[in-house]
Chains A and B, each alone.
Chain A
Amino acid sequence: MSALVQVRDLARDYSMGSGPVHALRGVSFDVEQGEWVAIVGPSGCGKSTLLNLLGAVDSPDAGSLTIAGERVDRLDDRAATTFRLRRIGFVFQRFYLMPALTAAENIELPMAEARIVRTERRARVQELLGYVGLAGRADHRPSQLSGGEQQRVAIARALANKPALLLADEPTGELDAATGLEMIDLFRRLNRDGTTIVVVTHDAQMAAAAARRIQMRDGAIIAEAVT
């Protein structure tokens, strides 16, 4: 059986006033179903660019990307949107919850967009809140939650439509060390329960927790390590 994620010679340039920036210079790797991969490297080496391509929020200039059998690099805007909704869970460094919605409504949002019936939505919200340890926080707004709690809500939201792949860009970047460790525990549990994870991180402990680390520099992969 082929890998869940197949990245082949993926390249992405940004045109700047001073000329093109080669953010990604032909990157190839696979991610197997159920794997937990950490992407590490210095700031500006192209990690977020790579993650955005994996999450279909950006398109490559060259190369191919196949996720769960779909050629993601060839999707038009509408198809890419559906792909993101059904297949990808995205977690950002800065939580990015909707400030006007409660924790429960934030988690419900992608399910409402996927036209899941209300009762089923509500049940899944409760289940997810319990899973990330926020059962009592359903009606809190993001401003009433701590950074760690907000990031848990963001993870619950990412899991709402049972994605094939969970992508996280520096999920511990804005958390203190202790909360960061809790987050690593949560990711560990997620992966043990079968979630395939690709996480971009600066955090050595987060990277060490992943089974496999991809080291990048200057838009290219320079090393790989498997624990």
Chain B
Amino acid sequence: MDELLNDEQKQLRDSAMRLCAEKGGAKRARSLRDSGQELDRDALDAMREAGWLATMVPEERGGLGLGASELYLLLEPMGRYAVIAPLLESAAVAWALARSDNTDPALSRLLDGKSLIVPALQGDGCNFRNATQGFIGHVEDGKLVAKGTVPFVPFAASADGFLIEVATSGETMLCVVDGKAPGCAVSAARNVDGSASGSVTLTNFSIAPDAVVAKGDDALDRASAVADLLALGTSVQLLGICESAMTMTLEHVRTRKQFGHPLGSFQALQHRLVDNYVDLEVNRSLLHRICSVWSDGGAAPAMIAGAKARNARVSTEMLRTGLQLHGAIGYTDEHDIGILWKHALVLGARYGNELTQSDRFARLTMEEA
């Protein structure tokens, strides 16, 4: 079931479908992977030119002034066409920057495509929680100096800058920092879909006062909102991958014949696909709903944790059916279903996998009667 969209949203969805169809697809994802690139620059540029990075930036700051529901409309086709590019990460950073007054330079660099800035957040729902990791800071000669590591940051190797959270003895700071500055090192590792993520390590890294985007509770709230948005948006991409896998599998079982009949005429297979379909329908409604209340603060973190866990779980199940119903061809690198699977594995694990997020859901709802 789709959301009731207004005309502007319909246009946005249609142009997103077109752009992703043109700049995406399994073939392109495969060749990108084989050429060793962790992201599709060309696709990202096209998205930036279309204004997508600024989806959730207010109009007076040069953005589209839209909300998470519109971001949904962009991300779903990205999943569907397996476009590997940090649209979500950029849009989330842009949203966070646009909520401070002193961020014009960083924001325009990001929106003009001069710098790729991605979140490198350590915390609940973002990456594995680990008390020894994350950035800590202290003030030295009146200057903020940070150190520490945040692992598994998607697109870290290509990024020019990071949105980071620095814990100091007094308060937490949300900062936007230059990734090429001395004291910042990135070590990246490739994922099975061709994308990569990296550990960002800061050593004796000095942060200029104008790099501080927010402080205290404001910094904590904004960092959590970014982490939530990343988990939410990744879930939307996962849903897109699943839609694609469903279409591909339906086409296959309608045409492939065995025992004199199309595979799709066997009820055992029909009902299995229906169960996947039902799960996808539920996920779509859940994501629509959370996105529509996100901008007004109506999306409790537990909802997002639940949505990420459920989308990760369902993607595993959908792709299991998809691969199985393709038989041996599904086990080849040549067939596109495998590309979708690998992309789903990566997005499923990113920003908290099924079990991490379901555990987080449990903690967030624990005290309830």
Q: Do A and B come from one complex?
A: no
Interface residues of B (CB under 8 A from A): none
Interface residues of A (CB under 8 A from B): none
